Structure formats: structure tokens, C-alpha cells
Structure 1
Amino acid sequence: MTRLQKTVLILVAVIAAVIGLTFSKVLNSPRQADPAQLLEAGIVLLPQARPLPPVSLTDQDGQAVALQSLTGKWSLVFFGYTFCPDICPTTLAQLRQLEGLLPPATRERLQVVMVSVDPQRDTPAQLKQYLAFFDPDYRGLTGELESIQQLASALGIPFIPGDTGRENYTVDHSGNLALLGPDGTQRGFVRAPLDVARLAERLPQLLGQP
């Protein structure tokens, strides 16, 4: 075998090794979620992650919670209230249904958080009792109306406070959900009405990302 032939064989071997490593990296790397497919499921991703405002609220156990502590998992944040006649029970029931369709690994990476837009009536105890009807693992947050409005505006899901001077008042609010990443920043929205079947297909792909 000539020196030229040996050189060619070495080059071929090197190129084959590089190609092999490249394919291995592509096959073993996590798949990036397709924004178009996510959009079909009602998931809208932000161009850049948004930090949460420095707001502290109270959870369903009466413990103070800084919003920056919502880390470690992806969070679906819903703004609603326990006396809501339609949107809230429907949305929470759909989220419960969605969790039942997700693979266990995805469910472990996801938490549902309901922030009350009716702190006048939604005490921690009231939130805890209400959320337990859907899933006792759901987190409830309440607090000062000003803090809740600040958070809702920062997440792009504002609401109109109810007239607390009237009996059986209602609160105008959106059914959209804020999507927070495991780093505690807002990554996007999930638009209402929820498409449970499509969300069950697309969320595992998204939640598999850091």
C-alpha cells in the first residue's frame, strides 16, 4: 500500500468518525419544540423570557410565597376565583383532565397554580377547599389586590376587580394561562379555550426542555 493510499484511508476513517459523532449528537439531543405545532395547541411562546415582579402572596396553607420561588417545575398559572360560575370550574376540570393524559415524567415537571382575583372572599382556607375538589396538589395564591393586579399585568393577563359592595358580585377575568419555565420566568401563554387533546400531545415536547 502506497503512502498516498494510507493517507486516504486515514482521512476516510477520520471523516467517518466525525460524521458518526455528529449523528449521535443529533439523535441523542432533546428535540426542540416546534413553535408552529405549539401554536396549534394554543401555546404561544414569548420571544424572550420575562422575569416576574417582586410580589409576595399567601398560599392555600397560609404561608407567604415569593413569586420568584415558583421554580424547579414548569407552571401553568391561572387567574380565577372560587365563586366563579363558569370559566374557573371548567378550566380547572380541563387541567385535571389534561394531567390524566400526560405521561408520568411530564406530570412530574408540571404544576398548576391558581391566583385569586377575588381576595376579598378567597381566603387561604377557601382556596384550599375549592382546589381540593379538582386536585389537592394544585397551588392556590391570594393576597393584597394591588399585588395580584401587579402580577396579572406583568404576565399579560389583566382582570377587572369586582364591585365588593354588591352581593354575589362577579369578577371579569381571562381564561388564558401564563406559562412559566422552571427558572421562574414567563415563557409564554396558553390560550383559552383549552384544547386538552392537543395540549396533551405538545406539552411533553415543550416540558422536556430546560
Structure 2
Amino acid sequence: MTRTQKTVFILAAVIAVILGLTINKVLSSKGQGDPTALIDAGIILLPQSRNLPDVKMTDQDGQPVAMDGLKDKWSLLFFGYTFCPDICPTTLAQLRQIKSELPPEAVDKLQIVLVSVDPNRDTPKQLKQYLGYFDPQFKGLTAASVEDLQKLANAVSIPFIPADTSKPNYTVDHSGNLAVIGPDGTQRGFIRAPLNNQKLVAQLPEMLKRK
């Protein structure tokens, strides 16, 4: 991956966030709650939901999962990997803390999902062990190929740069943003990184009241 390609990748992610901010300003004129408070918490809602691609995944228990199976609860999808040296453990620790401070009725409506961008190393067993360090109820998903993972990541506008797996101790360039999936199994928006625990604890229950 050249420096120019990485620059384009970063600019695309920034443009997606700016677009989300613009969209939420439009929503604010339609009287849908208080989008300003949501934006301030880093929650960017889309004016129209997006369908997820028909990608076959495997969960941390080795069971097949269809992406349209993410229904009945709100899901926060974080694209990361278990060998990540910094952003992944920090983000998962924050999500654990946020979840612990939410009211029980909000926790019942929410699930945290780590989508691995490193299928070469992140086996279901590895995902389960790693997530257990944070919260055994966190879910993990991986796919048979990087191409399938990219299809999903690109569909929710959180792309990543596949790693050169021939290098020892390689790392994967990825975003810290979260994709918000509604209980109908469609993408409803994003949560921007870095996460603000206090503001998300205050605003996530409001988001979770939506249908």
C-alpha cells in the first residue's frame, strides 16, 4: 500500500464522517429528538437505513452467521483484530465500561460485535478467548476470506487496508469508528472514534429507543 493510497483511504473515512454530520443537521430540522446531543456524543444517524451484504460469517463459537441475522437487538460493529497492539483493546475496554454504566433496559437491547479484519490469525477459538478478557457476552465474527470482510466493511463505510500476511508480526490498518446496526438488521449510522464514554452513556439509551 503506497503513501498515496493510504492518504486516499484516510480522506475517504473523513469524508464519510463529514457526510454523516451533514445528514444529522438535516435530521435536526425534522424534529427527530435531539440530534445535536447525539452528534456531540459521536453518534451519526443516516437518513435512510442501508442493507447489509449477504456475507457468510463465523462466530466465536464456530457457528455460521448470516449478516441478516443481526436482528432483534441494536448492534455496534467494531472492525478490529485480536493481535491489535493499541486501538482494539482500548476500544473494547471502553465499550465494556460503557455497557456497565447503561441502564439494564438499554443493555438488553444492545450487543457489541468485533468483526475481525485478520482472518489469517483470528480463528473462532482465538476470538472467543480474546473477547472473554473484556466481556464474555461480546460477540466475534470472522470470514473465510479478506474479500468477504472488505465487502461488509465497505458496505458500512468503515474500510480497512488488508495486511501483508507474509511479514512477521504484521499489523492491520483499520478505523476506530463503529457501525450502528438497528434491530431490523440494517445499518442506521456510525459512532465516531475516539469514543466519549460519558456522552455515550447518556445518549445511547435515547438511540436505543428508536425502532
AA in 1 matched with 2:160: F
Report Cα offsets for 1:119-143 as digits up to 9, x if no partner: 0000000000000000001110011
State yes or no: 1:176 paired with 2:177: yes
CA distance in 1, matches of 2:142, 2:101: 29
Aligned 1:191-206 pairs, distance under 5 A: 191-206=192-207
Aligned to 1:135: 135
Aligned residues: 180
Aligned 1:98-177 pairs, distance under 5 A: 98-143=98-143, 144-177=145-178
* Alignment RMSD: 1.0
Sequence identity, in percent?
64
SS in 2 for 1:47: strand
Aligned 1:46-57 pairs, distance under 5 A: 46-57=46-57
CA distance in 2, matches of 1:205, 1:158: 27
SS in 2 for 1:168: coil
Report Cα offsets for 1:66-94 as digits up to 9, x if no partner: 00000000000000000000000000000
Report Cα offsets for 1:130-169 as digits up to 9, x if no partner: 0000000111001121110000000000000111000000
Query: What's the offset of the Cα at 1:98?
Result: 0.1
Query: What's the offset of the Cα at 1:34?
Result: 1.4
CA distance in 2, matches of 1:181, 1:39: 18
* Structure possessing the higher radius of gyration over alpha carbons: 1
CA distance in 2, matches of 1:72, 1:32: 22
CA distance in 2, matches of 1:32, 1:145: 38
Name segments (4+ residues, structure 1) moved above 6 Å: none
CA distance in 1, matches of 2:46, 2:158: 14
